[in-house]
Amino acid sequence: MALLVWGADRFVEGSACTARYFGMPPLLIGMVIVGFGTSAPEMVVSALAASQGNPGIALGNAYGSNITNIALILGLTAIISPIAVHSQVLRKELPLLTLVTALAAWQLWDGEITRTDAAVLLAVFAGLMAWTVWQGLQKKDDSLGSEMEQELEIHRMPIRRASFWLVVGLLFLILSSRILVWGAVEIANGFGVSDLIIGLTIVAVGTSLPELASSLIATRKGEHDIALGNVLGSNLFNTLAVVGIAGAIHPLTVGPEVFNRDMLVMAALTVSLFVIGYGFRGPGLGRINRIEGAFLLACWVGYTALLISTVFGQPI
């Protein structure tokens, strides 16, 4: 897990510096390179898990990461420093994330993500990326991209060094993901629990560490919109691209508990974030205060306790 997080960091820094060297606009670097890079752990782990016939880890990692992003990361971030929400970009992403979550719930109704479902998810993701990039380029404003670059404190470096870290980071991403999936499956077998539980807990938290780090860095700098946008963007990526790629590699069939428990928790947290983010404070202003952050964190603790209780055969 440590190698996975380190490899993702090196991959993002190397690829962003390489893209800058070849003249890619900061907007595209921020949205494409940094956006993909921070979700690279989830993508690689779920893809490998699907290819090895472990749908529980593939879906558990994606949906568990979404739950972790909202409940743990946003909750912890808001407790440290209340998150102000002003950006119109984020106000577009909040209802969009709600609609995407509804699409995911509809697809999982029958307990399976088929290749057709995966193709729909990837098509929606490609459309959203194209539309967002087009909108950004039309405005000819690279401030969003520059802010997203700063999210991971990307520094300039020579092209050879950047290319080296790009390759090394990618190799460590793939290698560490294979080790992580193997370790998670062995732990699940050793303790007699499903790989879904391991995917929803240990793997989900581990692959969400880059989002936690970048959100805390953004909050420390007072960039509250970036902290929230990081979570919203990551959840969109996980729901559409991560599940889509995994389902395209191998259809994902899971038990009814994924829809009845995990999907409902993810949907409820997304709706709660929608309500908290907008609030009743008037147009153009929203705030996630410490009390609301504590509520989100308590939801994550309760959900984790529920998962642990199922391991011992005593569901809450």
User: 306 vs 115, 167, 170, 201, 300, CA distance in Å?
Assistant: 31, 40, 35, 11, 10
pLDDT at residue 241 in the model: 93
Q: What is the DSSP letter of 70?
A: I
Taking only the tens place, the pLDDT of each residue in 112-132 is 999 999 999 999 999 988 887
pLDDT on residue 313: 65
- What's the whole-number mean pLDDT along residues 272-284? 65
pTM above 0.85, yes or no: no
The CA distance from 5 to 288, in Å, is 27
Q: What is the pLDDT of residue 296?
A: 95
Domains of the chain, earliest start first:
48-142+181-311 (1.20.1420.30)
Specify which of 11-20, 99-108, 202-211, 227-236 reaches the highest per-range mean pLDDT. 99-108
Kindly report the average pLDDT of the chain as a whole number: 81
* Tokens found for residue 313: 């055969």
Give the pLDDT confidence of 160-201 residue by residue, as tens digits. 888 888 888 888 878 887 888 888 888 887 888 888 888 898
Band (pLDDT 50/70/90 cuts) for residue 142 is very low
Give the pairing of strands 83-85 and 112-113: unpaired
The answer, yes or no, to whether residue 28 has pLDDT greater than 70, is no
For the chain, percent of residues with pLDDT exceeding 90: 29
